[in-house]
Amino acid sequence: MIAEGRVSVNGKVIDSPALNVTARDRIVVDGNVVGEAEPARLWLYHKPPGLVTTERDEKDRPTVFGALPPEMPRVMSVGRLDLNSEGLLLLTNDGELKRRLELPATGWLRRYRVRINGSASEASLDRLRKGIEVEGIRYQPMIVTFDRQQGSNAWLTVSLREGKNREIRRAMDEIGVKVNRLIRVSYGPFQLGNLKSGEVEEIKRRVMREQLGLDADLKPAVKPRPTPARQRKAGAPGERGGKRTAK
């Protein structure tokens, strides 16, 4: 857009992005003033099977974003669910929040209901619990529970923290069973609950602050550093021991 001469700063068309700006500068794109970023927002979406989690698909398959209600703003997905998977997908309008929720350091548990054709022995499930390697890719240990046998199928609950591409399907193939249904039921503290297929529900700001450690403006809250012991002073008379507690 800059190269095409569509951006001006303080009334002057710019030809390079190498320009520092502040909140006091007036930035105009295509004649429209660029305002402040909207507050971060987060939605729960019950993804149906048969949708790809991309903005556009080279095979012209239906996408998650094309299926969202028309009143939804422009959003991004937190992670992905593959074409045939269903269940909970987090959506946000904020790129920084998306990156934060996807970081491996977040370590949030993703929980899935998994239906397999056939049955899996405890010995084979133990391979998943210890961590398994498939075609040179090492997957971290999974939490796996055998729930019930249902005719020729069996249901498992599988929880993991990494969520690599098609991780559960590839791991199940490796132990000799085929996944024929995969439903994500939770992502960290957020639950699919009773949300129906195709429905969207916005997470309240209060819940976002509590669960994501954000401040009142939905920015990452900065935790105060504990005062080093050598800097602590004994409390004055009447104070409770002069101790501080880092919260």
List strands edge to edge, sheet with 7-9: 12-13, 7-9, 27-29, 32-33
| Residues sharing a CB contact under 8 Å with residue 46, sequence separation 6 or more, in sequence order | 86, 87, 88, 89, 192, 195, 196, 197, 198, 199, 200
Residue 147 backbone dihedrals phi, psi, to 5 degrees = -90, -60
Residue 59 to residues 45, 52, 64: CA-CA distances in angstroms?
23, 10, 14
CA 11 – CA 124 distance, rounded (Å)? 67
Of the candidates 111, 92, 106, the one whose C-alpha atom is nearest the C-alpha of residue 44 is 92
- Residues that are catalytic: 82
